[in-house]
Structure 1
Amino acid sequence: MDRIFLDLALLTIVTLVFFFFAFFFFSKTCKLNLPAGSAGWPIMGEMWEYLKAGRLGAPHSFFLERMASYSPAVFRTKLLGQDMAVFCGPAGNKFLFTNEHKYVGLWLPKHLQKVVIFALDSSKEAVEKETMELRSNLLPEFLRPEALKDYIPLMDAMAKDHLDQHWAPYNEVKVFLLSKTYSYTFGCNLLMSVRDPKHIARMYGPFKDMVSGLSSLPINIPGTPFNRAVNAGRIVSEEMMAVVKQRRREIMENPETAIRTDILGKLLEGSEDDGMVSKRIIGFLVGSYHTLSTAITFTISHIAQYPHVYERVFQEQMEIARSKAAGEALNWQDIQKMKYSWCVTHWTVHTTHRNPKYFPEPEKFDPSRFEDKGPAPYTFVPFGGGPRMCPGREYARLEILSFIHNVVTKFKFSKVDPNEKVIYRNSPFPANGLLIRLEPLGN
Structure 2
Amino acid sequence: MALEVGYVVSMLFTLFILLLCVKHLIQTTKNNRMMKKKKLLPPGEMGIPWIGETYEFYKAQRNNKLFEEFVEPRMKRYGNIFKTRLMGSSTVVVNGASANKFFLSNEFKLVVSSWPSASVQLMGPTSIMEKHGDQHRCIRGLIAASLSCTSLESIVPKICRCVELHFNAHWQGEDSISLFRSTKMLTFSIVFKCLLGIKVESGMLEMFENVLEGVFAVPVEFPGTKFWHAKRARLGIEEMLLSVIRKKRNELEESCGRENGDGLLLSRLVASLIRGEISEAEVVDNVVLLVFAAHDTTSFAITMVCRMLAHHPNCYARLLQEHLEILDNQKVGETLTLEDTKRMMYTWKVARESMRLFPPIFGSFRKAIVDIDYEGYMIPKGWKVLWTAYGSHYNEQYFQKPLDFDPDRFEEPIAPYVYVPFGGGPRVCAGYQLAKFNILIFLHFMVTRYNWSLIYPDERITIDPLPFPFHGMPIKISPKL
TM-score between the two structures when normalised by the length of structure 1: 0.85
User: Can you give the 5+ residue segments of structure 1 that lack an aligned partner in the other structure?
Assistant: 1-29
- Say yes or no: does 1:361 pair with 2:404: no
1:267-309 Cα shifts (integer Å, max 9, x gaps): 1111242221111111111111221111111111111221101
Alignment partner, residue 425 of structure 2: 386
Give the CA deviation at 1:183.
1.2
Alignment partner, residue 154 of structure 1: 158
Q: Return closer, same or farther for 1:249/1:83 CA change in 2, 3 Å cut-off.
A: farther
1:385-432 Cα shifts (integer Å, max 9, x gaps): 232222221111111101110111110111111121111333322111
Residue aligned with 1:84, SS: strand
Give the CA deviation at 1:193.
0.7
Residue aligned with 1:284, SS: helix
Q: Return closer, same or farther for 1:80/1:194 CA change in 2, 3 Å cut-off.
A: farther
- Say yes or no: does 1:222 pair with 2:261: no
- 2:259–2:267: 8 Å Cα contact kept in structure 1? no
1:328-384 Cα shifts (integer Å, max 9, x gaps): 01001100110010111121321110112221221211111112x233332212222
Which range is displaced more, 316-325 or 246-255? 246-255
* Matched residues, number: 405
- 2:152–2:338: 8 Å Cα contact kept in structure 1? no
Residue aligned with 1:321, SS: helix
- Say yes or no: does 1:129 pair with 2:130: no
- Say yes or no: does 1:413 pair with 2:452: yes
- Say yes or no: does 1:347 pair with 2:385: no
Report the Cα distance in structure 1 between the residues aligned to 2:118 and 2:466, rounded to whole angstroms. 20
- 1:191–1:281: 8 Å Cα contact kept in structure 2? no
Alignment partner, residue 76 of structure 1: 83
Alignment partner, residue 263 of structure 1: 265
- Say yes or no: does 1:399 pair with 2:438: yes
State, as a whole percentage, how many aligned pairs show the same letter: 30
Letter in 1 for 2:60: A
- Say yes or no: does 1:433 pair with 2:472: yes
Alignment partner, residue 15 of structure 1: none
Q: Return closer, same or farther for 1:191/1:32 CA change in 2, 3 Å cut-off.
A: farther
Report the Cα distance in structure 2 between the residues aligned to 1:164 and 1:279, rounded to whole angstroms. 33
Q: Return closer, same or farther for 1:188/1:311 CA change in 2, 3 Å cut-off.
A: same
User: Can you give the 5+ residue segments of structure 2 that lack an aligned partner in the other structure?
Assistant: 1-36, 357-388
Report the Cα distance in structure 1 between the residues aligned to 2:129 and 2:295, rounded to whole angstroms. 27
Give the CA deviation at 1:436.
0.6
Report the Cα distance in structure 2 between the residues aligned to 1:223 and 1:363, rounded to whole angstroms. 42
- 1:415–1:437: 8 Å Cα contact kept in structure 2? yes
Letter in 1 for 2:479: P
Report the Cα distance in structure 1 between the residues aligned to 2:434 and 2:331, rounded to whole angstroms. 25
Give the CA deviation at 1:259.
5.8
Larger Rg: 1 or 2? 2
Alignment partner, residue 332 of structure 1: 338
Alignment partner, residue 301 of structure 1: 307
Which range is displaced more, 173-182 or 84-93? 84-93
Q: Choose which of 167, 178, 181 in structure 2 pairs with 1:174.
A: 178
Report the Cα distance in structure 1 between the residues aligned to 2:238 and 2:218, rounded to whole angstroms. 22
Q: Return closer, same or farther for 1:76/1:227 CA change in 2, 3 Å cut-off.
A: farther
Q: Choose which of 181, 185, 188 in structure 1 pairs with 2:189.
A: 185
Report the Cα distance in structure 2 between the residues aligned to 1:122 and 1:391, rounded to whole angstroms. 10
Alignment RMSD (CA, Å):
2.5
Moved over 6 A (4+): 30-33, 121-124
Alignment partner, residue 289 of structure 2: 283
Report the Cα distance in structure 2 between the residues aligned to 1:54 and 1:391, rounded to whole angstroms. 25
Letter in 2 for 1:178: S
